[in-house]
Amino acid sequence: MKLVRKLIVGISTIGLLLMTFISSTYAWFKINSRASVDNFKFEVVGGQGFLVSIDNVKYSNDLTKDQLYKAMLLCYGSGEYKISDDGEEKLYQVTYDQAGQEQLTELSQEQINTLVAAKIKLLPTTSSDGRYLTDLYNSQSHVSAGRFVEFNVYFKAQSKKAEDVTYEIYLNGEEGVTDDGAVVEPTSVTSARTDVTLSADMNAVIPNDNGKYITSLKRNNVSGQKDHIDVYSSNALRISISESSLKEFPVVDDQNQPVLDEEGNPKVDKRYEYTNAVSTKIYELNDTINKNTDLGSYATNYTGGMSEADLDNMIVSAPGTLVENENLALYCSRFNAMYTYYNNLKPDAKISHIDYASKPTTIRDLSGKDIITTVSTGEDAKLLTFRVWLEGWDADCFDGLEKAVKVRLAFASKRREA
């Protein structure tokens, strides 16, 4: 039986800065509008016990923003881009000549930066499992469409010896210190306040230090003025992490017959494939600096057993009704700011809420140390796929952000050995 020997032996961090173009009220409600992702900052610092890589060849404790851009294009391109296998991490654009022969053109870092800024966007989308993403009308959102961010990072144990030592890696929610004394800040998602002037009526659950209150906000209130709402779009951000591991598969020919080696035995090959050992995790990490700003998680049909008349009475009560049922505040579509605003703004193109029973399970608290993967000394690397998107059903999901969303992912590990 393996026991936990040392609590935290390694800490590494990934930091991203997600910036959208500034635009007037709610860009994604406008025809042909697109919010862009810009100025990514990514670094992995101070990994102990495990190393990281974007090509499964060159491993180190640190990853830079430039490396992340390459990893993002590899996912986005669906074969349009290729990385060298010599550890140089050269990124090539793949084209084909008239004879169908592959042509590789090396891209400069400046070209890579330009491609990322132009092609990879951050648009409202949703996912029930963290792998398969759709828009709010249930049309699949492929990574090649650039509607969300996806990149792969390989994790492996630092030691190559078969020492029977395993490292359990998880997102760390606490400040840590590496062996050399460097302080690593915990995982966090933050953004500045966006002050929005309403162009349509909405219902919202407004939180404060005393609780959560239902408020009916108007395009034109009793004073003849437009109401405002404060939105921290960091609360609409979702991050999913999927694990893949190498699996063996028989090599077959065009007729699906086994290919034999020189000794007459069936050949086998390995490829990375999603594993069910650790299911995809979806993280809903609310703003860690601006407390009490979460307007709600998903627009669902949850009513808490209340009738429509009761729900309507809660909405019209003044100056606001305290919501004692936390699920009503988080999941009832009738109190969801994004959902009610959009349907009032676009009555001829209404969206429908999702079913409460099928809403995604998200991790909102990192104190549980949920393991995202394990790496063992002397064994193959694990491949982790990271996806970052704006959850369109979240009450805080108002596109055209005025401020950047800053994401820091801090990893820690627990060492197990016999």
Residue 205 has pLDDT above 60, yes or no: yes
**Residue corresponding to tokens 């190498």:** 246
- What pLDDT, on a 0 to 100 scale, did the predictor assign at position 28? 36
The mean pLDDT of 134-160, rounded to a whole number, is: 88
Confirm whether 149 is domain-assigned.
yes
Domain count, the chain: 1
Provide the 8-state DSSP code for 122. Answer: -
pLDDT tens digits, one per residue of 207-242:
988 899 999 999 988 888 899 888 888 888 899 999
User: How far is 149 from 171, CA to CA, in rounded Å?
Assistant: 19
The mean pLDDT of 83-110, rounded to a whole number, is: 94
User: How far is 359 from 258, CA to CA, in rounded Å?
Assistant: 43
Confirm whether 296 is domain-assigned.
no
- What pLDDT, on a 0 to 100 scale, did the predictor assign at position 409? 79
Q: And the tokens for 196?
A: 């929005």
Q: List the single range of 126-135, 153-162, 199-208, 297-306 with lowest mean pLDDT.
A: 153-162
- What pLDDT, on a 0 to 100 scale, did the predictor assign at position 359? 93
Confirm whether 106 is domain-assigned.
yes
With contact defined as beta carbons under 8 Å apart, do 121 and 38 qualify? no
Confirm whether 211 is domain-assigned.
no
Residue 105 has pLDDT above 90, yes or no: yes
- What pLDDT, on a 0 to 100 scale, did the predictor assign at position 150? 93
pLDDT tens digits, one per residue of 232-270:
888 888 999 999 988 888 888 888 888 888 888 888 888
Q: 153 vs 18, 74, 122, 274, 362, CA distance in Å?
A: 19, 11, 20, 14, 22
Confirm whether 147 is domain-assigned.
yes
What average pLDDT does the structure give for the chain?
82
Confirm whether 225 is domain-assigned.
no
Cα atoms found within 13 Å of the Cα of residue 299, Cβ hemisphere only = 26
Residue 142 has pLDDT above 80, yes or no: yes
- What pLDDT, on a 0 to 100 scale, did the predictor assign at position 83? 97
With contact defined as beta carbons under 8 Å apart, do 251 and 258 qualify? yes
Residue 26 has pLDDT above 60, yes or no: no
Confirm whether 199 is domain-assigned.
no
The mean pLDDT of 155-179, rounded to a whole number, is: 81
Residue 19 has pLDDT above 50, yes or no: no
With contact defined as beta carbons under 8 Å apart, do 62 and 68 qualify? no
Three-class DSSP category at 388: strand
Residue 62 has pLDDT above 80, yes or no: no
Residue 112 has pLDDT above 70, yes or no: yes
> 68 or 92, which is more confident?
92
Residue 24 has pLDDT above 60, yes or no: no
Provide the 8-state DSSP code for 335. Answer: G
Q: Residue 156: left if φ>0, alpha if ψ -120 to 50, beta else—which one?
A: beta
Q: List the single range of 1-5, 221-225, 324-328, 357-361 with lowest mean pLDDT.
A: 1-5
Name the nearest CA neighbour of 19 among 33, 38, 35, 34.
Answer: 38
- What pLDDT, on a 0 to 100 scale, did the predictor assign at position 159? 82
Q: List the single range of 2-11, 88-97, 135-144, 345-354 with lowest mean pLDDT.
A: 2-11
Percentage of the chain lying above the pLDDT 70 cut: 85
Structural domain boundaries enclosing 111: 3-193+235-289+361-417
Question: pTM of the full predicted structure?
Answer: 0.86
Residue 5 has pLDDT above 80, yes or no: no
Confirm whether 274 is domain-assigned.
yes
